[in-house]
Amino acid sequence: MLPSFNQVTPLLLSRLGRVGLPLLTALLLTACGSGGKEKTAEKAEAATEKPEADAPADVVRLSAPEQQAAGLALGHLEERPLGTGLAVSGTLDVPPESALAVAAPLGGFVESTSLLQGSRVRKGEVLAIIRNPEFVQLQQDYLEATSRLRYAKADLDRQRELYQQEVAPQKNFQRAQAEYDALRVQTQAQAARLRLAGLPVGGQLVSTAAVRAPRSGFVRAVNVTVGQSVTAADALFELVDPTHLHVELSVFEKDVPRIQAGQLIRFALPSDSAAGRERTARVYLISRAINGPDRTVRVHGHLDQENDPALLPGLYVRATIETGRNTVPTLPEAAVVRYAGQTYGFIPVSPAGSYRMIALPTGRSEDGYTEVKRPANLPATTTFVVKGAYSLLAKLKNTADED
């Protein structure tokens, strides 16, 4: 049977004696000191890692290679003159000559059509086929008139020759001339009517005619179905040619004195909000009539760039009419990022590559610069990231998603 610890300890101490006791004490103290140092190192390491784990959610850290790859550049607020404006709303529209109602001049039944609302059409393209039994009669009348015209022409030539030889009286020649002229006018009128109906002038008789697009554009409305009976007064289709779009704005009467022809109009579509895109126009005409109970005046503006496929008649627009200019603090547009419907900027918070995202209210934009409404807690000398801000936003949000 082995001895217990209490039995071994006195025996060991008696054998070590006076010399062994100090040695044993030193060994015990060394072991305790080593354990304390290890715990101290662990606490120091944990304290070092804690700031990284508790980094603020609006701070992003980039290594030196990442900063170089992002192409970051720093700068300060810059005072620049920007236009001051009047905020208004309105719609895109086309002049009257660009809105077309297409009808069948002689009426009939709609035999076929494949048009859909919003379809693009080219000038001369077939929109529908119309069937009308009267088309045959029109062509028959024309062919008969043409035949009579040929006979009248031959008779006129004979009467002219007899008159010149003094064989027949002058009145016979005059009668032949009048008959020929009347038939010629009748034939020309019937030919014009056939062309108006879309029927061939001469040739084989047909009972259908094609309704063609008078101009290029797109279909705004389809008002017929196959088999429907239509008259010359019925609008089969409504076409819009968007080549010469303009912007129609509503301005309150109290603001009309501030508007002048030639002023710059900056406008945006609802779909432009996320991208921050603006389009431009110029004030062309100011109405002299006040409309309705809202007491507004229509302002007509011509677009600077008309051939834009995103612009369609009837679209709602938010616009600013520039009525003057003033100097405001600005940053390059690349310094401002848009996220979740808000605008933000980045400022460096340490020389080691840390940047904080801050809310940065903005105003007007012009020529690549955006008006910045500096928060009250930021000094005017604050340094901003003026290039590569979207790279910082992407890094910040990716890090947040990983956490």
Residues 6+ apart with CB under 8 A from 91: 247, 248, 314, 315, 316, 317
Q: 40 near 340, Cβ under 8 Å?
A: no
Q: Determine the pLDDT at residue 378.
A: 86
pLDDT exceeds cutoff 80 at 232: yes
Q: Determine the pLDDT at residue 399.
A: 72
Q: Determine the pLDDT at residue 141.
A: 92
The more confidently predicted of residues 177 and 277 is 177
Handedness of CA 211, 213, 218, 221 (dihedral sign): negative
By mean pLDDT, which of 21-35, 77-91, 175-189, 221-235 is the weakest?
21-35
Mean pLDDT across the chain = 82
Instruction: Express each pLDDT in 197-206 by its tens digit.
Output: 889 888 789 9
Instruction: Specify burial of residue 357 (Cβ count, 10 A radius: 0-12, 13-18, 19+).
Output: buried
pTM for this predicted structure:
0.55
Q: Determine the pLDDT at residue 155.
A: 92
Three-class HEC string of 58-89: CEEECCHHHHHHHCCEEECCEEEEEEEEEEEE
Residues above pLDDT 70, as percent of the chain: 84
Q: Determine the pLDDT at residue 56.
A: 67
Give 252's pLDDT tier (boundaries 50, 70, 90): very high
Q: Determine the pLDDT at residue 238.
A: 93
| Most confident by average pLDDT, 72-76, 107-111, 336-340 | 107-111
Q: Determine the pLDDT at residue 400.
A: 64
- Distances in Å between the Cα of 163 and the Cα atoms of 153, 159, 176, 178, 346 are 15, 6, 11, 15, 103
The more confidently predicted of residues 403 and 240 is 240
Q: Determine the pLDDT at residue 51.
A: 41
- Structural domains of the chain ordered from first start: 59-81+329-402 (2.40.420.20), 85-95+241-326 (2.40.30.170), 105-240 (2.40.50.100)
SS3 225: coil
Q: Determine the pLDDT at residue 126.
A: 93
Tokens of 195: 């062309």
By mean pLDDT, which of 29-38, 69-78, 238-247, 250-259 is the weakest?
29-38
Give 36's pLDDT tier (boundaries 50, 70, 90): very low
Please report which helix (H) or strand (E) contains residue 210, including its range: strand 208-212
Residues 6+ apart with CB under 8 A from 95: 244, 246
326 φ, ψ to 5°? Answer: -145, 165
Instruction: Express each pLDDT in 92-149 by its tens digit.
Output: 998 888 889 999 999 999 999 998 988 899 999 999 999 999 999 999 999 999 999 9
Q: Determine the pLDDT at residue 91.
A: 93
Residue 298 CB coordination number (10 Å): 16
Distance between CA atoms of residues 219 and 118, nearest Å: 5
pLDDT exceeds cutoff 60 at 344: yes
The more confidently predicted of residues 244 and 235 is 235
pLDDT exceeds cutoff 60 at 302: yes
Rounded to 5°, angle at Cα 48 from 43 and 53: 110
Distance between CA atoms of residues 167 and 179, nearest Å: 20
